[in-house]
Structure 1
């Protein structure tokens, strides 16, 4: 999700992208320290995957998207990244994930040269993975949950 945000930020001016990245980091840290209940793990993961899809979608029409939407997307990514880390990981996991936003520095020169289609393809791959992960988590799989036979 943070990588998808980094790719999306490659399409906007660098100053705005850095502000959005900062917002994402601050919200992620706040959400990580919020300590949500463990039983929220499944809805949090579904929210995370849906956010990957929405964030990666920003690369397809970046000039038509209002600049404030990139800030909202950054806050959204930070929220879900922090919550996932809080319920399923450790604080150091967030420290490992946050630098993925730096993909904007790789994507930015590619976009400036007019080769933004490559960044869009990578974002589409992230979308495909997120769709598959969401469907797997929403599809009941025998053996993962107790059923009437147990």
Structure 2
């Protein structure tokens, strides 16, 4: 499985963690915004150019980092940022999943959004730090995958059967 197949799922997982930390009204609105945008882009998937796949995957990796940053943000406007991230996630996840060159299963990534349920349960019991730790792990994986996708391959970087 290529790194591009993981990008949409990790962004949905990070968004699920974020939506679980927000008030229920905002969490439901963010999930609805994601679902609506994802459905519209998936419906228009036949007219999206295949060259968008690499850009959408890079947007997913960057979106994971931005969503995890929102996990740590306690300032005003966090709810609006979360809704904006939900719209952006729906657009990029659908574009990356339904691109002609995509290795990701089309309907698999949005299921990771269900992490909002255990996230809400943990946050209600004072376990918000565990959610932030999980989000930090997702950000580390995303930034590493993004950087490694743009680093040129030199001999010895890949196993022999992949060269």
For normalisation by structure 1, the TM-score amounts to 0.85
Per the alignment, residue 3 of structure 1 pairs with 13
The gaps in structure 1 that reach 5 residues or longer are 144-150
SS of aligned partner of 1:141? coil
The gaps in structure 2 that reach 5 residues or longer are 1-10, 156-163
Alpha-carbon distance change, 140 to 32 in structure 1, aligned in 2, over 3 angstroms: farther
For normalisation by structure 2, the TM-score amounts to 0.79
Per the alignment, residue 37 of structure 2 pairs with 27
State the Cα distance separating 1:75 from its structure 2 match: 0.3
Alignment RMSD: 1.8
Bigger drift between 75-84 and 10-19 goes to: 10-19
Per the alignment, residue 102 of structure 1 pairs with 114
Distance in 1 of aligned mates of 2:74 and 2:20: 10
Size of the aligned set, in residue pairs, is 141
Match for residue 121 of structure 1 among 106, 130, 133: 133
Task: Write out per-residue CA displacement over residues 23-56 of structure 1, whole angstroms, 9 at most, x where no aligned residue.
Answer: 1011112222333222232222111100111012
